[in-house]
Every structure is written in C-alpha cells, then in structure tokens.
Structure 1
Amino acid sequence: MQDAIKAEILLENGVAVRRDYEPVSYREALDYQTARNNAIYEGLAPDLIWLLEHPPVYTAGTSAKADDMLDPRFDVVEAGRGGKYTYHGPGQRIGYVLIDLKQRARDVRGFVHALEGWVIDTLADFGVESWRSEAGVGIWTRDIDGSEAKIGAIGVRIRRWVTMHGFSVNLNPDLSHFTGIVPCGIAEKGVTSLARLGISVSAQQWDEALLARADQFLAKLEQACPPVATSEGNQA
C-alpha cells in the first residue's frame, strides 16, 4: 500500500491521483481497491482517483446473468460492483474513484449522477455529445449509423460510505471483444468508441481533460441529490 501511495500526486483539494499507462491486471486492481477502501475508511490514506487500463477481461457485477456470458474467451472476474457483465481491455480508459462520502453529502444517487456528468462533460471537450439514457445506466452517444450506442460504463460499490470502482470510457478498444458478452445486459444496443467516431484521443490526453474537471466533479458531491440512498448500496 505505501509503495503505491508514493506513486500518487496529492491535489490541492486533498484527493490523490494515480495514473498508470501500462496495463494493470483486474484482480490486482480489485485487491488494491479493497485495501484502499479500508484505509480511507480508517483515515490512513487520502481519497483516490486512479486512471488506468486492464488486459482483456470480463467482469461480472452483482446482477450478472449466466445467459449474458456468450463466449468466455478472456478471464471472467466477479467484481463485487453493481451491474451485469462488462468488458475491460486495452484502449479503454478506466477511472476508479475512491471517495469518503461521509465527508460529503452521503448520497449514493448523487455520487453516481456526478460521476456520469464528469464523463459526459469531458467527452464534450472532445466534441462528443453524450447523455444518460433510459436504455440503461452508463454514457450513451450517437454511433456512426445514427443509432444510440454506449461509449462509457458506470459501475460502483459503496462500503461504509467509501466508494469503489467507477467508470470506463472507450477511446480505441477492440470493439469485437464486447461480443463475448451482452454488455451490461442490453442486447439491443451497440457499443462504440471515440476512434470509431473518427476522434483520436490518447490516454494521456483523456486523463488531462478529465482531471481538469476534477474539482467540478468533487464540488457536486457536497450537495445531496435526494432521495438519499442507503450506505450499503450498488449502482450499475
């Protein structure tokens, strides 16, 4: 834990940022999140925004259904977050957000809404209009054929008011890897990426744009978004 903390940069707002540009195994990242969640709860480590990517992996949320696993060609890991199956892999930027909500509005719904808004606003900085959709939790945009498609996924877990997991955004992943699952349990909707939309964005460019809006995201967590959810909750 201490070696990992040394690799972080502490922002003026007291939140630490870690950026990895070599793939980190999903199981390793999950173990670290669990340990960091406990450390934040005990006051031994600051809140953390961790930006990274994984080798190809399918992750199962607490609502995952066996029928949605079509081709387990990659490792399948039970994530402990809300939601169903999703894919992570190279070219997809992950943001794990570990925040002590006891020090903020104690609002699970507000946290998820702010997380979605953070990604939507950052995509807009690259000229991509995106939105929340009744089709399912996540970030949606218009694909090259005009249909609604998912460009980002949201999945969180709250343990003792400290958040885990976060979001993923498709910069330029191999979209064929999503065909091994029914992404997020939504068979009738597609998946897209910035590259598919003709927009080239590196991991570093994405991180810089996202972190430029970090204060805006954190400010939203200071205000409740009623109704307030329970502390031991999951959102997909």
Structure 2
Amino acid sequence: MNKNIQLQDLGLKGYKETWEYQEELFKGVVDIKIRNRREDANLATPNYFLLVEHPHVYTLGKSGDLSNLLLSEKQLEAKGATFYKINRGGDITYHGPGQIVGYPIVDLENFFTDIHKYLRFLEEVIILTLEEYGIACGRSEGETGVWLDVGTPFARKICAMGVRASRWVTMHGFALNVNADLGYFDNIIPCGIRGKAVTSLNVELGVEKVNEQEVKEKILKHFADLFAAKFVTS
C-alpha cells in the first residue's frame, strides 16, 4: 500500500486543461490496477494531490440542473467566465481567483475502500483547517461540503465538494473560498440549494486578504494526518 502522495501546485491554471490533466493521471492509475488484475502483478499505484487556482469558471456535475446557472452564454462572456458540464457528483459551483481548489487523485485501496468515509475525511480536513483560524464550522446533513451556522437562518457554505471515483480511484475534490469574489456566486444557485448563502474565509475573519500559502500548508498537514499519508514533491 503506497501512502506517498505526489504534491503538485499548479498555480493559476485554466479549468479545461486542469481537468484534462486530472483525467490523464486518473487513467494512469486505473490502467495500473487493470494490469495488476489481468497479469496478477503487484505494481504500486501512485497517488497525486493537485492544488490549483482557476480563472472564473462555472462547472455543473453530472446530476446537476442547468437551470441553476442564471447566466446566458453572452453574459458569461461579459463576466470573463467559462462553463463546463463535467463528470463529478454534485450540482453547479463556481471556481475563481482567491479560491484554493484541491484535486486528490488517489487509489483508495492504498488507504481505505469507503467513499463515504473519504468524503467525510475531505470535509474534516477543511473543518480542522478553519478551526485554526477560530472559525466554527461543520457539516449540513444531506449536503456535502463545509458550512457555518448550520441549522440557523444564517447558514452559509465556505467549501464545496464533488468527486468522481472508479475502481477506488478518485478525482475532482474541494474548493475552499479563501479570498473569493462572492459576487460570482450570485449568478448560480450554488450546488442547487436555494436560500443558503456562500462565504469566504477573509469575510469571516473581517480582513482584506488571507495568506493563501499558509492555508494550503494547513490543509496538507491535516490531509496527511487523517490519511496517514506523506506528501512528496518530484
């Protein structure tokens, strides 16, 4: 069981090329697993963790409702945003500058074979990270992601999540609002959930800008602890 995870910080990168890169890494891991099964081999499967920031983009999950995007094609262009229908779970979400996006492409057979546990662990990584900033947050029953003031009229989402898994290999992941322009969320019904707001870490802390590198380091520390993993850089 390979518990090393290859860490790659891609910086600012377009959604489409990042998605294609994810698919390439994902296929590479799956192909090794297929070969192991067919040839009774015992080749180690690699794990990856991509950190990235995207230009303004809206993505719709495979079970999502297109009506939750409230912009026409021309309005998207006017806002400098793009749109993609993709193969993760969940409905519609926004990615953009000031957001930390994490894509773990891991073989869960190196860790544990439980998708529900995997999602809860992803949420816990973000919960523990935000607690370091004094932010009390948690889960909302039946709604994946990380929320503040759950069960009150002021409930608001700070981190969206959506994953795909095949043969226990994961892709896609989480998007944490750190210094995000929340105005872009006004153009969608986030995750298809009406009547609930979205927030960002800098807003909750009442500061203009949060150190994103520091947040990334905290995320990686908690991920490594929860998954009993070790990050390596090539």
- Do the aligned partners of 1:83 and 1:155 also contact (CA within 8 Å) in 2? yes
Letter in 1 for 2:22: Q
| Higher normalized helix content (fraction of residues) | 2
Partner of 1:34: 23
Pair 1:111-2:100 in alignment: no
Task: Find the aligned partners of 1:172 and 1:146 in 2 and give their Cα distance.
Answer: 24
Q: So what's the TM-score if we normalise by structure 2?
A: 0.82
- Do the aligned partners of 1:91 and 1:174 also contact (CA within 8 Å) in 2? yes
- Determine helix, strand or coil for the equivalent of 2:202: coil
What is the CA distance between 1:69 and its match in structure 2?
Answer: 1.1
CA deviation vs aligned residue, 1:168-214 (integer Å, no higher than 9, x gap): 10001110001111000011100000111115422211111111222
1:100 to 104, 107, 110: 107
What is the CA distance between 1:135 and its match in structure 2?
Answer: 6.3
What is the CA distance between 1:104 and its match in structure 2?
Answer: 2.7
CA deviation vs aligned residue, 1:112-149 (integer Å, no higher than 9, x gap): 11111111111111111110002621110149x97110
2:174 to 154, 167, 178: 167
Partner of 2:41: none
- Determine helix, strand or coil for the equivalent of 2:184: helix
Letter in 2 for 1:163: T
Partner of 1:17: 7
Task: Find the aligned partners of 2:13 and 2:226 in 1 and give their Cα distance.
Answer: 25
What number of residue pairs does the alignment pair up?
207
1:214 to 204, 207, 223: 223
Task: Find the aligned partners of 1:71 and 1:103 in 2 and give their Cα distance.
Answer: 42
Task: Find the aligned partners of 1:47 and 1:88 in 2 and give their Cα distance.
Answer: 24
Gaps of 5+ in 1: 1-11, 221-236
Q: So what's the TM-score if we normalise by structure 1?
A: 0.82
Percent identity between matched residues is 37
Task: Find the aligned partners of 2:103 and 2:159 in 1 and give their Cα distance.
Answer: 13
- Do the aligned partners of 2:108 and 2:169 also contact (CA within 8 Å) in 1? yes
- Determine helix, strand or coil for the equivalent of 1:38: helix
1:137 to 144, 161, 168: 144
- Do the aligned partners of 2:102 and 2:175 also contact (CA within 8 Å) in 1? yes
Gaps of 5+ in 2: 33-43, 230-234
Letter in 1 for 2:10: D
- Determine helix, strand or coil for the equivalent of 2:228: helix
- Determine helix, strand or coil for the equivalent of 1:195: helix
1:59-208 counterparts in 2 under 5 A?
Answer: 59-72=59-72, 73=76, 74-134=81-141, 136-142=143-149, 147-197=154-204, 198-199=206-207, 200-208=209-217
- Do the aligned partners of 2:105 and 2:170 also contact (CA within 8 Å) in 1? yes
Letter in 1 for 2:128: D
